Structure 1
Amino acid sequence: MVRVFEAAAGWPSVRERLAGRVADQDLASLDEAVEFAVRWHADQRRPAGEPYVEHLLEVVCVLAEAVGTTDVDVLRAAVLHDVVEDTECSLEDVRERFGDRVAVLVDWVTKPAPSEGQTREEARAAYLRRLRTAPTDAVLLKLADRLSNVQRLDTHPRPEKRRSYYLETVHSVVPLAQSHPWFRQWYAAWRDAFGHVAADSPDARSQ
């Protein structure tokens, strides 16, 4: 059975869940990161319509509750991981407010815009290849990020996106989990549970 991480009740509820795991001063630091992310992401929504902040909080829950991460810089980076990619916030804004280590982690998981002469697909492929050389904390952040995005993959409104995202996860993200036992087990269960999403894809049948 695939474990699903919920954050629909918002930050106050997630904060209560973290209270026994994360030091009080670090929770206060997370308050600041959540406020910053909420302000930048504003009224953005996920593909199925949920407020975008739910995704950010789910990533925090995965890292803290499943993997046991208590490093506040990693948890703050989880809250902030999409703010450069999906808003007008710059990496320098993140660095100035939260420090260099948080900014470096955010940078690792931020997909860059295509360079001159590069297609969007080529830029995405290069980003995924680069993650193979990422430091452990950045890999854990990416694995938690993708987990949140695919744990309810069948709710995505576009069937073709469901198929392509499943295949990309299997090809490019699951290998990153092999050195991390909890994620390795979770993604193995997820792959089995959601194999039907790509059942009609020739690529999926060749797995």
Structure 2
Amino acid sequence: MASITEFRAYTNTAARRNTFYNYCTTRYVQDQAIFFLLVDAFKAEKRKRQAAFLNDWFIKGNIPDEYTQNGYLGIVNISSGLQGTISTNTTSAVSAVGRNFADKMNNHGGGMGGFFGALKQKLGDTTVSDSLFDAAQAQVVTMLDDNGRHGFGGVGGAGATYKPNGVYQPVGAFSQQVIRFRKDLKIGGFDPDKLGIF
């Protein structure tokens, strides 16, 4: 059984992330792989826009139809209780720091006091906790591993066919979705080239 540490070793460079993504398209688990990659990118940067994107698309399921109709993307398969907890925590965390300067001013009471409070906050740490999606990511790793069914099976484990330094051709049926999704990733604060999604 592969661990989250092993999956991070599979994806520790842009080239390996691309290999991982391409391989996962051949197993039709690219939506889970994308979520895994996005959470790790979020953990590195802790940006509010990234947290909102992950929450809106993958936790709440507000994914545009063009991605769901042919199975390219889907909501993360977690319990409804965990889904609600993650969504509430993410919304609260983003609201607490504010998405923009006006939000920060309102959080500090508005007016001149709110202005100086927001300015002080802006000069400090305005990131959100990097652990918001940990529980969901752990479940995604379990689903990706799934007793080796998807070819990971742990390092040298039973059913292991995935080679982190191998070369895999992505499924061509998703090419149009990838072009559009790269644009949406940029809007969400992610770099699709660093993620290896191309």
Q: TM-score, normalised by structure 1?
A: 0.28
TM-score, length of structure 2 as denominator length: 0.29
**Structure exhibiting the larger radius of gyration computed from Cα positions:** 2
